[in-house]
Amino acid sequence: MLAVILAGGKGSRFGNHEKCLIRICDRAIIEHVINVVEEFCSRIIVATSLRHSGIIRFCRENNIDFLITTGRDLCYDMCMIVNVTRDRPLIFFPCDIVIARDVVRQVFNIALSAEPDVCITFVDENGKFTGISVVTYDRCVFGVDFRWRNVKLCGQVYDVDTIEDVILLRSLLCQ
């Protein structure tokens, strides 16, 4: 099973397009994602754009496969990734979350039993979109709608959108 870590965003809310390289507890945020996801999948790639030179360098230094996307738009880039990969189900994770192992286990169990030709998006316990998605369809045509299903996750998913989020996570996790 292939996991794609999406690391090509603009970081507009945070003010840094490479916020996933900020360290929490002696590791970059993206490392937190990779460390928990790699237990459940056979392959991880990081999807980023050319303007994210720090993320590309991080991938090269840590021997992590990466894919260069257009950086145009999240949906457009996800569609492109669906079309160039053959692994199904395909699981997308954002690079800027800190997520509990049991939550990732839920995602992978749902992915393994997902019906064909669907996109499953995951929301947290408050109903907020987590950025995690499972895709089972074979091709994507940008702008053409397909079947969606939302699933609520049980457990902690911390989305890093502000410097206050970083401070909070450091106080919760770095003891």
Q: How does residue 149 score in pLDDT terms, banded at 50, 70 and 90?
A: confident
CATH code for the domain of 138: 3.90.550.10
| Amino acid symbol at 23 | R
Question: Does the model's pTM come out above 0.85?
Answer: yes
Q: Which of 45-49, 107-111, 127-131, 145-149 has the lowest mean pLDDT?
A: 145-149
Q: How does residue 143 score in pLDDT terms, banded at 50, 70 and 90?
A: low
Nearest in space to 46 (alpha carbons), one of 82, 4, 86: 4
> How does pLDDT run across 19-52, given as a tens digit for each residue?
899 999 999 999 999 999 999 998 999 999 999 9
- Measured CA to CA, the distance from residue 50 to residue 147 in angstroms comes to 31
Instruction: Please state, for a pLDDT cut of 90, what percent of the chain lies above it.
Output: 61
Average pLDDT across the chain, whole number: 90
User: Which of the 8 DSSP states describes residue 162?
Assistant: S
So what's the pLDDT on residue 74? 84
Q: How many domains does the chain have?
A: 1
Determine whether 74 is exposed, middle or buried from the number of CB atoms within 10 Å of its CB (0-12, 13-18, 19+): middle
CB 160 within 8 A of CB 19: yes
So what's the pLDDT on residue 13? 66
Q: How does residue 174 score in pLDDT terms, banded at 50, 70 and 90?
A: confident
| Mean per-residue pLDDT, 124-148 | 84
> How does pLDDT run across 72-122, given as a tens digit for each residue?
888 888 889 999 998 889 999 999 999 999 999 999 999 999 988 888 999
So what's the pLDDT on residue 28? 95
The secondary structure of 83-97, three-state, reads: HHCCCCCEEEEECCE
User: Which of the 8 DSSP states describes residue 2?
Assistant: E
Can you give the residue range of the structural domain that contains 64? 2-173
Q: Which of 49-53, 54-58, 136-140, 168-172 has the lowest mean pLDDT?
A: 136-140
- Measured CA to CA, the distance from residue 54 to residue 60 in angstroms comes to 10
Residues 110-133: b if buried by 16+ CB within 10 A, e if exposed: bbeebeeeebbbbebeeeeebbbb
Q: Is 6 helix (H, G, I), strand (E, B) or coil?
A: strand
So what's the pLDDT on residue 86? 86
